[in-house]
Amino acid sequence: MSAAPTATTLPRHAVLADVLPQARVRDATLVLSGALLTALLAQIEINVPPSPVPITGQTLAVGLVGATLGARRGATSLALYALLGLFLPFYSGGSSGWDVIWGASGGYIIGFIFAAGAIGWLAERGADRRVVFAFLAFVVGQLIVFAFGLAGLKISVEESWGWTIHNGFTLFIFGGVVKAVIGAIALPSAWHLVRRFEKR
């Protein structure tokens, strides 16, 4: 049996999930766990009228899952979340089904997949190990979510671009910054704990 990897023996593009042994079981478990975490944080919901899209904890989950699992597993985890939400009450407010995907929030949910992949790609290159770069990775991920989200919102509500940007992006800037700060603190701190544990 091979020894568990450590922070010093991990391959160059390793992320936090790679610290754990048993790759196949680990990957399947973490992909499912990431989808469930996103579903859980989706239930943290704050309505911001007149926007039809609520503020939720989903984008925080997207950043944490992407950075922790890496590009491939992170994107897979959020794709699983999107798929499970078609049948289970996993979307914000316990909603589910194709109506959500085709509705005001659908573009954001699709964007989660690409954002997790992008944040994971950046984490594989060490962006999650320093506060500034972790913050920027979260910002990049959220901009990807908003790009997809605004396109979906515009199609869904058929309002002007000014209305769409204000109600689908501007109202969410402060919350996005807060989530990026949380990620920028949590991820380097997790790496610090990993290294500290290994020294014992």
Q: Which bin fits 97, alpha (ψ -120 to 50), beta or left (φ > 0)?
A: left
Measured on CA atoms in the order 42, 43, 47, 50, is the torsion positive or negative? Answer: positive
Which residues, 6 or more positions from 188, have their beta carbon under 8 angstroms from its beta carbon? 128, 129, 130, 131, 134
User: What mean pLDDT do residues 98-121 have?
Assistant: 97
Q: With contact defined as beta carbons under 8 Å apart, do 3 and 59 qualify? A: no
User: What mean pLDDT do residues 16-34 have?
Assistant: 85
User: What mean pLDDT do residues 119-123 have?
Assistant: 97
Give the tens place of pLDDT for each residue, 132-176: 999 999 999 999 999 999 999 999 999 999 999 999 999 999 999
* Domain residue ranges of the chain, discontinuous segments joined by +: 23-192
User: What mean pLDDT do residues 76-102 have?
Assistant: 97
Strand partners, 46: 55
Instruction: Flag the least confident range among 44-48, 113-117, 160-164, 191-195.
Output: 191-195
* Topology (CATH level 3) of domain 23-192: Arp2/3 complex 21 kDa subunit ARPC3 (1.10.1760)
Query: How confident is the model at residue 6, as a pLDDT?
Result: 59
Write down the pTM of the prediction.
0.89
| pLDDT, averaged across the chain | 92
45-46 vs 55-56, strand pairing mode = antiparallel
Give the tens place of pLDDT for each residue, 26-77: 899 999 999 999 999 999 999 999 999 999 999 999 999 999 999 999 999 9
Does pLDDT of 13 surpass 90? Answer: no
Query: How confident is the model at residue 4, as a pLDDT?
Result: 55
Q: With contact defined as beta carbons under 8 Å apart, do 154 and 101 qualify? A: no
Token match 């754990």: residue?
Answer: 20
Q: CA 120 to CA 187: how far, in whole Å?
A: 12
Query: How confident is the model at residue 2, as a pLDDT?
Result: 44
